[in-house]
Amino acid sequence: MTDVTPFHIAIPVHNLAECRSFYRDVLGCAEGRSSNHWVDFNLFGHQLVIHYKEKEGSEDLHHNAVDGKQVPVPHYGVVLPWDRFWKFSELLQEKKVPFVIEPYIRFEGEVGEQATMFFLDPAGNALEFKSFKDIQQLFAK
């Protein structure tokens, strides 16, 4: 994989201050531009923008079974280098971030073998961070 360019994603949050603190202080994302209704972050070199949106009742996540786990949908995240993934997962554990799916090796011994973990931000947005020992497995069939 070469010439990977940053993605941009904008997500709704119902508590801008709490989510701002989560992305900045817990995940360690550098803060960029902001207003009273949105905040830009550097999410491992990608542009994440949290936008205030009033909470509208119950917004339960859908789940799909993958490798015997209930994966929340929708979700977003970043594919990290192997060592960085494990260091990041240790940081999250130290900061007592509750996991929806704790860090583990998915598809072990199969095509697409990867490390993965899922957790929620304070607004209930699901995040997945993953890693491949062999990045060529990212799109392998």
Kindly state whether residue 127 falls inside one of the protein's structural domains.
Answer: yes
The answer to whether residue 23 is domain-embedded is: yes
What residues are paired with 113 via a beta bridge?
none
CB contact at 8 A, 38 and 26:
no
Which range marks the domain in which residue 71 is found?
8-54+63-139
Give residue 2's pLDDT: 63
**Total of domains in the chain:** 1
CATH number at residue 40: 3.10.180.10
Q: Answer whether residue 44 is part of any domain.
A: yes
**Predicted local confidence at residue 59, as pLDDT:** 66
pLDDT given for residue 58 in this prediction: 66
What does the pLDDT read at residue 3? Answer: 76
Sign of CA dihedral 128, 95, 93, 14: negative
Q: What is the pLDDT of residue 101?
A: 97
Task: Determine, yes or no, domain membership for 104.
Answer: yes
pTM of the predicted structure, to 2 decimals:
0.91
Give the pLDDT score at 56: 79
Structural domain includes residue 3 = no
Taking residues 11-35, what's their average pLDDT? 97
Residue pLDDT, tens place only, 98-118: 999 999 999 999 999 999 999
Determine, yes or no, domain membership for 36: yes
